[in-house]
Amino acid sequence: MSYKKNREVFFTMFAREFPSAMHSDALALLRAGTAEQRWNEVQCSIEIGEQETARQEMLSERRMMRVSQICARFGAVLVTNGDPRGYPDSRTEP
């Protein structure tokens, strides 16, 4: 499925699941998800300097806090495993 199609499906499902939510909330979640995906891929793939790692981790923490705040407005809970390949985390139960 193309990115555009995935995006449309996300917006449709989000609107159906959270009818009182604003479109800007869905955009913010999508944007944060894309940024976090990129950061996780970098973490798993290449070595970067300590300063850049610290900066990116700080940005990641802020992003996750923002996403958690958005989710809390609808009574949802954010669950991630931090693996960009989608492998289940051994610490979480199915």
Domain assignment present for residue 31? The answer is yes
Domain assignment present for residue 48? The answer is yes
Interatomic CA distance for residues 94 and 90, integer angstroms:
10
Write out the residue range of the structural domain in which residue 66 sits.
Answer: 3-73
Binned at pLDDT 50, 70 and 90, residue 94 comes out as very low
Split into its structural domains, the chain has a count of 1
Percent of the chain with pLDDT over 70: 84
Domain assignment present for residue 26? The answer is yes
Question: To the nearest 10°, the Cα dihedral for 16, 5, 27, 44?
Answer: 120
Give the chain's mean pLDDT: 83
Higher pLDDT, 89 or 20: 20
Write down the pLDDT at residue 62.
94
Domain assignment present for residue 79? The answer is no
pTM: 0.74
Distance of CA 76 to the CA centre of its chain: 14
In this structure, are residues 87 and 81 in contact, taking their beta carbons and an 8 Å threshold?
A: yes
How do residues 41-60 score in pLDDT, each as one tens digit?
Answer: 887 778 888 898 899 899 98
Domain assignment present for residue 21? The answer is yes
